[in-house]
Amino acid sequence: MILLPMAASGIASSIAPTIETLDRNQCLELLQGARVGRFGTTLDAMPAVLPVNFVLLESDVLVRTIPGSRLDAAVTNAVVAFEADGFSDDGLRGWSVQIRGVAREITDPHEHALADAAGLTNMALPGVPQRYLRISTIDMTGRRFDHSK
């Protein structure tokens, strides 16, 4: 039995959760509807998790960085973690997708044009020159949970 606080009422629930493991297509479908995720990497030999906005480019995660920044230097051609999720207002239902992949800079002109067409902007610094990073999604897992049943 799992006891969970209910966000709306503050009353604990003893309902056993339903947890579903998601396949790759279900994960990609959920990521398609999300816009903010968390980017996990190493900065100055310390773990760092940063919120980023993103879109999917084909089946990879597309984010933007600022050229020359510490984050930009740390993640280019490095193995990184990425996570996105969504929850109901009452916190009883939700999903989470986790990815481990290589972040590489987009330099190919055709691929860069596709990234431009995706309409992704940097949420923190709109208008500042940026570059695209593409994160492979070969290692992806996801779960959906429901504590309301």
Task: Say how many residues make up the chain.
Answer: 149
Domains along the sequence of the chain with CATH: 23-141 (2.30.110.10)
CB 1 within 8 A of CB 130: no
74: left (phi over 0), alpha (psi -120 to 50) or beta: alpha
Q: pLDDT, tens digit, for every residue of 118-149?
A: 888 766 666 666 788 999 998 999 999 998 76
Paired strand residues for 140: 99
Residue 66 has pLDDT above 50, yes or no: yes
What would the two tokens of residue 6 be? 């209910």
Model-level pTM? 0.80
